[in-house]
Amino acid sequence: MAEVARTAGVSTATAGRALGGYGSVSPEARTRVLAAAKELGYRRNDLARAVITGRSDTIGLVVADIDNPFFAAAVRGVSDAARAAGYEVLLANTDEDPHRERSAVDVLLARRVDGLIVAPTWGDPEHLQRAQRSGTPVVLLDRRIEGVDLDTVMVDNFEASRRAVAYLVDAGHRRIAMVTGGTRRSQVAPPGQRGVSTGRDRVEGFLRGAAEAGLQEPERYLRTAAGTPDLSQRATADLLAGHEPPTALFASDSRVALGAVKAIRQAGRTIPDHISLVAFDDADWTGVVTPTITVISQPAQALGRRAAEMLLERISGAQEEPREELLPTVFIERDSVAPCADDTRGA
Amino acid sequence: MAEVARTAGVSTATAGRALGGYGSVSPEARTRVLAAAKELGYRRNDLARAVITGRSDTIGLVVADIDNPFFAAAVRGVSDAARAAGYEVLLANTDEDPHRERSAVDVLLARRVDGLIVAPTWGDPEHLQRAQRSGTPVVLLDRRIEGVDLDTVMVDNFEASRRAVAYLVDAGHRRIAMVTGGTRRSQVAPPGQRGVSTGRDRVEGFLRGAAEAGLQEPERYLRTAAGTPDLSQRATADLLAGHEPPTALFASDSRVALGAVKAIRQAGRTIPDHISLVAFDDADWTGVVTPTITVISQPAQALGRRAAEMLLERISGAQEEPREELLPTVFIERDSVAPCADDTRGA
DNA sequence: GGTTCAGATGAGAACGTTATCACCACATCG
DNA sequence: CGATGTGGTGATAACGTTCTCATCTGAACC
């Protein structure tokens, strides 16, 4: 910059003003500086600027796995909203490992991000609260943490799941199973905080829906820790092979549904004749398989966008109470649910 | 840091050495500094460090759309390799807009990324060459640019496509269609550089395969500018409704395939009885639809990982000639291709 | 016992910006 | 005409680090 200033015949202060767009500069000085900068191939150093201003115009984004379609869409939403406001996005994956989440947050904080959007995984969220307290706003995406004062953008997983079960019950089903990832057993945490809120809420919605229908022992048909297609396939196969197999299945996300569909097919059963299926997430393929799958559609991209918007509000100094914002899900009826054909429905 | 130094009773220089892990510090001084830092809640400012060292330990990643499964996987690969080496990833989407690509590169350069991984879209690549020349290494991901000296990691799209067509020809098909996105018509660029190399190479592979089989006017069955499921669905419907409809279809990626499957189903045809299908990309759903889809599988995540590795080599000063690295595709035979049943196969 | 050398330390410069302040010229106003 | 702004400018401090250099200590070596 000093060289640009020299070439343009002004002080570095004036050159800085012309290049940085602050203060006031005469039109002629500005053009001279700009010309000199172009001639010399000058490129601004945003890092040095950030050191001075204390703002990096960057937000940190921490998700479990960008390669999961839900998060990919959410990241896209965050990215779009961020860029529209002149912010860049620093991305980190955790693979649901609390240790990686914590270290990712530490690194992003050291890089002086102006704010953080986190889809928190299961451990102690103290690092998130500390970040917020020390002046870096945090917005939770897709997952809430009880007893923590942070903005949160998500859907009503409990209610959506309860309704899905009610829908299956209305179709006459009584032996309704749920396959889900998330809720791990081998986990050290207070009971209320096990697993990820998304998984917990969906399981509780399932249990509530089952209870409301007076179903006996719904836990008998609940399979957790099946978060990948492969695990889900095995869990579903297990369910189908059991005594009094379920006549309907609720899959907690599209990857779980993928494994479930495979297992059902391999077991020689057909959807929806032998077993009905409802899944979370309107993945692209759910509309193209035979039969098409009835799903609870989540506005993944909009969730990301809203999270970014809320974060940007906080960054610009909004001081209201932390709020939990719920975006609506859409229940899309397709062809994977049929009335229960099983005579033993009373079982 | 000055306060930490004061608390620990050492100079800022020594505190810096203890905190920054450079130079040499006595064990006792180190422990005193670390204790003081912890007590004061000191958090290092990596931005200031980057200003001094000239290295930000950050790489910029520019792709068309993170919400596309191929790129999501590639980004994951880049991210993993980057983190393993202590680098962070700054992400940008272009939506295939050359203007956005250029401005994204400009912003990332201003943030002093140590290197760039770009899946280049169609316009003039001068900004990429300039970045490389001015000392920020650039690696091209998934797409090459002719006549440009940049490292590139991709697959052999031409050969994979040629083989896919040959496979269909071997099954007896003569009216083979291709639906693809990418190659736009309304584009201002020298003929050889229209569209994105991936799309061009696949089209040329298709044409070569057709030529080798002696097929007449293969262009008649070529539909470009159908990069989204919706556009692809329309293009496929159009093909099916035409005179002498194709008996086999080659879809240039999984999203195109999705639209094609929908169109085929809506037209009342079945795969593979009426029409065979081969698609690029082993999307998760291609193994679960009926019938399962025969695909050319790309190692998307490995492409990202290799791109990051090559970039890191350049960053650490490797000076060899730029190279183009091809990762192998895998042709996965499933159930969407059947021998041609059409009597008029000579047409 | 002097020379050499490595380890440890501090003072202060350096990195490339923005922030602060003082100053000037000039217009505006009463 | 003097007081009061206001836009433009430059010198220099400031940001929070790392880098450079000089100095000191003590051990090892012949």
Q: What is the pLDDT of residues A191-233, one digit of tens each?
A: 555 689 999 999 999 999 999 999 999 999 999 989 899 999 9
Query: Is the pLDDT reported for residue A169 higher than 70?
Result: yes
Report pLDDT for B187. Answer: 45
Domain count along chain A: 3
Q: What is the CATH number of the domain that holds B19?
A: 1.10.260.40
- In this structure, is the dihedral angle defined by the CA atoms of residues A145, A150, A152 and A156, taken in order, positive or negative? positive
Report pLDDT for B345. Answer: 47
> Which domain, by its residues, includes B267?
157-298
From the CB of residue A221, how many other CB atoms can be counted at a distance below 10 Å? 22
User: What's the average model confidence in pLDDT over B312-324?
Assistant: 93
Q: What is the CATH number of the domain that holds A138?
A: 3.40.50.2300
If you average pLDDT over every residue of chain A, what do you get? Answer: 93
Dihedral of CA atoms B297, B298, B301, B306 in degrees, nearest 10, equals 140
Sort out which chain B residues have CB atoms less than 8 A from A258's CB and list them. 284-285, 288
Query: Is the pLDDT reported for residue B347 higher than 70?
Result: no
Q: Which nucleotide is nearest to B46 (CA to C1')?
A: D17
Sort out which chain A residues have CB atoms less than 8 A from B255's CB and list them. 284
Query: d(Cα B219, Cα B199) in Å, to the nearest integer?
Result: 15
Query: d(Cα A165, Cα A154) in Å, to the nearest integer?
Result: 20
- In DSSP terms, B63 is beta-bridged to B93
Strand D proximal to B53 Cβ, under 7 A: yes
- Does B151 share its domain with B161? no
- Does B79 share its domain with B111? yes
In a domain, B338, yes or no: no
- Does A110 share its domain with A217? no
In a domain, B334, yes or no: no
- Does A314 share its domain with A166? no
- Does B274 share its domain with B309? no
- Does A90 share its domain with A195? no
Report pLDDT for B195. Answer: 83
| Interface contact flag, B75 A91, Cβ < 8 Å | yes
A100 HSE (CA, 13 A, CB side): 17
In a domain, B336, yes or no: no
Query: Is the pLDDT reported for residue A189 higher than 70?
Result: no
Query: d(Cα A158, Cα A206) in Å, to the nearest integer?
Result: 8
- Does A169 share its domain with A193? yes
Report pLDDT for A26. Answer: 94
| Cβ within 8 Å of A, B 208-227 | none
pLDDT in tens, B52-96: 999 999 999 999 999 999 999 999 999 999 999 999 999 999 999
* A10 CA → C25 C1’, Å: 17
Q: Which region among A91-95, A100-104, A340-344, B39-43 has the lowest average model confidence (pLDDT)?
A: A340-344
Q: Which nucleotide is nearest to B54 (CA to C1')?
A: C15
Q: Does A83 touch chain B (CB under 8 A)?
A: yes
| Interface contact flag, A69 B66, Cβ < 8 Å | no
Query: d(Cα A260, Cα B114) in Å, to the nearest integer?
Result: 44
CA distance B159 to chain A (A): 27
Enumerate long-range contacts of B44-53, CB under 8 Å, 24 or more apart.
Answer: B44/A110, B44/B19, B44/B20, B45/A51, B45/A110, B45/A112, B46/A107, B46/A110, B46/A111, B46/A112, B47/A47, B47/A50, B47/A51, B47/A56, B47/A111, B47/A112, B48/A51, B49/B20, B50/A47, B50/B112, B51/A45, B51/A47, B51/A48, B51/A51
| Interface contact flag, B284 A48, Cβ < 8 Å | no
pLDDT in tens, B136-147: 999 999 999 999
Q: Is the separation of the CB atoms in B229 and A287 below 8 Å?
A: no
In a domain, A142, yes or no: yes
* A52 CA → C23 C1’, Å: 25
- Does A109 share its domain with A250? no
Query: Is the pLDDT reported for residue B188 higher than 70?
Result: no
| Interface contact flag, B45 A51, Cβ < 8 Å | yes
| Cβ within 8 Å of A, B 180-199 | none
User: What's the average model confidence in pLDDT over B34-42?
Assistant: 95
User: What's the average model confidence in pLDDT over A23-42?
Assistant: 94
Query: Is the pLDDT reported for residue B100 higher than 80?
Result: yes
| Interface contact flag, A46 B112, Cβ < 8 Å | yes
Characterize the bridge pairing of strands B151-155 and A151-155. unpaired
Local structure of A294: helix, strand or coil: strand
**Model confidence at A185, in pLDDT bands (50, 70, 90)?**
very low
Would you call A274 exposed, middle or buried from its count of C-beta atoms within 10 A (0-12, 13-18, 19+)? middle
- Does B231 share its domain with B208? yes
In a domain, B173, yes or no: yes
Report pLDDT for B183. Answer: 63
Query: d(Cα B60, Cα B119) in Å, to the nearest integer?
Result: 11
- Does A82 share its domain with A167? no
Q: Does A50 touch chain B (CB under 8 A)?
A: yes
Query: Is the pLDDT reported for residue B308 higher than 90?
Result: yes
**Model confidence at A183, in pLDDT bands (50, 70, 90)?**
low
- Does B221 share its domain with B207? yes
Q: Cβ neighbours of residue B68 under 8 Å, at least 6 residues apart?
A: B255
Rg of chain B over all Cα atoms, to the nearest angstrom: 26
Q: Does A274 touch chain B (CB under 8 A)?
A: no
Query: d(Cα A147, Cα A277) in Å, to the nearest integer?
Result: 35
In a domain, A49, yes or no: no
Query: Is the pLDDT reported for residue B32 higher than 70?
Result: yes
* B29 CA → D27 C1’, Å: 20
* A33 CA → C15 C1’, Å: 22
- The chain B residue lying nearest A100, using CA atoms, is B83
User: What's the average model confidence in pLDDT over B267-280?
Assistant: 96
- Does B255 share its domain with B201? yes
Of B41, B44, B51, the CB nearest to A48: B51
In a domain, A182, yes or no: yes
Q: Is the separation of the CB atoms in B181 and B199 below 8 Å?
A: yes
In a domain, A104, yes or no: yes
pLDDT in tens, B205-263: 999 999 999 999 999 999 998 989 999 999 999 999 999 999 999 999 999 999 999 99
Report pLDDT for B28. Answer: 93
Task: Identify the residue whose Cα has the smallest distance to the C1' of C14.
Answer: B52
- End-to-end, the C-alpha distance of chain B in Å comes to 80
